[in-house]
A = this chain, B = another copy of it.
Amino acid sequence: MKIAKLEAIPYSIPYRKPLKFASGEVEAAEHVLIRVTTDDGVTGIADTPPRPYTYGETQASIVAVVDQIFGPSLLGLDPLDREKIHAKLNRTVHNNTAKGGIDIAVWDIIGQLAGLPVSSMLGGFTDGMRVSHMLGFAESQKLLDEALRMRDQYGIDTFKLKVGRRPIGLDIEACHVLRDGLGQETEIYLDANRGWTANEAMEVLRQTDGLGLSLLEEPCDAKEAMSRKRLVEKSPIPVVGDESVPTAGDVSRELLAGGCNAISIKTARSGFTEAQRILSLCEGLGVDVVIGNQIDTQIGTLASVTFGSAFEATTRRAGELSNFLDMSDDLLADPLLIQDGRINAREVPGVGAAIDEEKLARYRQDQ
């Protein structure tokens, strides 16, 4: 069996409301659907989110790198030869989501060939994941209202608050309002998306002391090497590396340099193969992981759940899996459901991300 076709299809689906955070803002999901087809007609599917402010990729760069570099180098390879495929992909630097999408699509094919759910093939620890919901920039009372609504409607009781605003008092107040309104049992953690300096982040930690926040993600740019190392040493809670650690090599460098001591794993940028390497590295070093969200569609979220539910270490914490609720539509034929605060992986061969061809025809931008 050989890879016969690699498609990178740009499409656009509007969000219900624009999403704001310290490193950027998005109004529509202008993503690229990756479709890998074998000479036997087996099709693998993945979704790639271009994030110029995180990985430097644009829709155009993803389409170009797939059409001009990855396509020609992968055609004719057996989808089972994943290490060979990655040796080819790794000749090109960065382009993380393009590579991640191809890897997931290849795994999707492998699962279908084997007649097994990919989640089982990866590890099969459990059938799904608890959901953590992300709260974007908003006035404190609105943040609390949204959290309470998510708890009532979906049973979600873990919240990631987007912070990194100035003055820092805005975010500190939001932490207090959320803790007061949600009670002591709810998990709340912070993601600054590099919005602060390391020293601002230190001050936020002091002024939220006692609130029981569980994690602080990307408080400042990892390039602030000395100050961030000091922050990581002093912080009472784990400091999570996210956009600073897209590959296993970045993870090892950042952990050894003292720039973080917990890791966000995102299948959108790592696929399953590199995500598994990262997970193994973190488990070996005794470092916590959290399954993150790249503002994923339902297709992307299903990939996260597929990976996250496969391992014990990735299910200890809730996964960030609810961003798709902000989308006005999706290409996934059979919609994802959040029930009792959980999303399940699919008990079908492959990843199970069958797409709605009519919707693809409606939203694609290349025809």
Contact = CB atoms under 8 A, between A and B. Distances in A.
Contacts of A253: 222-223, 225, 253, 257, 259
A22 to B, nearest CB: 11
A256 interface: yes
A93 to B, nearest CB: 4
Contact of A56 (B95, B222, B229, B257): B95
A58 interface: yes
Interface residues of A, number: 39
A21 B23 CA distance: 37
A92 B225 contact: no
A94 B94 contact: yes
Given A58-B68, A61-B58, A52 B92 contact: yes
A55 B58 CA distance: 15
A1 interface: no
Nearest to A226: B256
A65 interface: yes
Contacts of A226: 252, 256
Interface stretch (A158-166, A168-176, A177-185, A243-251): A243-251
Interface string A234-269: 000000000100011110110011010000000000
B56 A94 contact: yes
Contact of A223 (B94, B223, B249): B249
A170 to B, nearest CB: 21
Contacts of A250: 223
Given A60-B63, A223-B247, A226-B252, 14 more contacts: A24-B91, A52-B93, A53-B91, A54-B93, A55-B94, A56-B93, A56-B95, A58-B69, A59-B64, A223-B249, A225-B249, A225-B252, A225-B256, A257-B257
A221 interface: yes
B52 A60 contact: no
A64 B58 contact: yes
Interface string A21-35: 001100000000000
A144 to B, nearest CB: 30
A226 B253 CA distance: 8
